[in-house]
Amino acid sequence: MKTTIKPLGDQIMLKIEQASLGALDTSSMKTGVEWGVIEALGPDVQGDYKVGDKVFCKAWSVDSIFYENKDYYFTSEARKGLCAIVK
């Protein structure tokens, strides 16, 4: 049976990517910024986000949870860690 993870409240589940996007190298923590793809949104998220959006987020605002041999990453609107949607 496949596990389903559903964020609660204003939580935003991300798939964090480590890659170089143009002039911003996000593969190093010295930038303090990560980029990821929104995988799921909690029911209280009110921002203009949708599943599949690529976003920049502040590294300090992301929690990592390791469950069933996979890392899950979460941030919340209250932390104000999302910087931008990448189009």
pLDDT of residue 31: 58
**Half-sphere exposure of 62 toward its Cβ, with a 13 Å CA cutoff?**
24
User: Domain ranges in the chain?
Assistant: 11-86
Contact 70, 15 (CB under 8 A): no
Reference 21, options 55, 52, 47, 50; nearest CA is 55
10-residue mean pLDDT profile of the chain (87 residues): values are: 85 78 50 84 92 89 88 89 88
pLDDT of residue 53: 94
- 42/87 Cα distance (integer angstroms): 22
pLDDT of residue 20: 47
Count CB atoms within 10 A of the CB of residue 76. Answer: 20
pLDDT of residue 37: 93
Q: What is the DSSP letter of 34?
A: E
CATH of domain 11-86: 2.30.33.40
pTM of the model: 0.80
Q: Which helix (H) or strand (E) holds 73?
A: strand 70-76
